[in-house]
Amino acid sequence: MTRFASAFSKGPALVTFITAGDGDTLANLDALVAGGADVIELGMPFTDPMADGPAIQAANLRALGKGTTTADIFAIAAAFRARHPQVPLVLMGYANPMTIRGPEWFAAECAKAGVDGVICVDIPSEEDAELGPALRAAGVAPIRLATPTTDAARLPDVLDGAGGFLYYVSVAGITGLQQAAQASIEDAVARLKAATDLPVAVGFGVRTPEQAAQIAKVADGVVVGSALVEIIAAHGDAAAPHVEAFARTLADAIHGAKENAA
């Protein structure tokens, strides 16, 4: 059983995002696991992040301002894997850092560091050849994004070659600023789950345990990023206990959602 399958088999999963190089990243990753996160997304800081709202844009600039490199990110990933052998780790970012040395190099480094999956925001399924074959050959899952504008005609292309889980971007916009209505999320998740056996995780705009619990009643996972990144912005290198405490409130809400609905 893969780490992804194990993480999602226990019920709704808490998927958390932070930016590599922002604050004490390893301490914050440990705090997320201690707080109950089931899957970790580690953002690769990038100068022109098209999908990210102000909080994650600022985190990218803080990380890049400290000189964070791709090598640093893989070192963080390897250290995380040594400390948390069973927790799935996903790198999330943009094509340039992932392909500048060639997709085979990037995929090999992911495998060596123990990375389970990659979300590349700006390589759509139509351009899978740019990175997907190299990832799959290295045993790393290309995790795809579906959105409110992914129609029935395009969805099979999005799912073709995908792995790990399907990330449903619940708003047609950037991270952190708005949340979709619960009814639209429920309709979208039902449509996606009818088309794939992959777990479906919902993100963008999820900021509170209450929101997360509602989504967890219908989805296989709930993604929270900007709210955690804002905690790191507020507390800097001392953020870890605050990250753990907030993650625990999210995990309790998500993990209890199905039981409360029963």
Catalytic residues, which ones?
A: 41, 52
Q: How far apart are CA 42 and CA 18, in angstroms?
A: 5
E strands, the chain, in order? 13-19, 39-43, 89-93, 117-120, 141-142, 145-146, 166-169, 200-203, 221-224
E strands, 71-165, in order? 89-93, 117-120, 141-142, 145-146
Q: How far apart are CA 206 and CA 186, in angstroms?
A: 14
Could you tell me which of 81, 16, 69 has the C-alpha nearest to residue 45?
69
Q: How many CB atoms lie within 10 A of CB 92?
A: 25
E strands, 75-213, in order? 89-93, 117-120, 141-142, 145-146, 166-169, 200-203
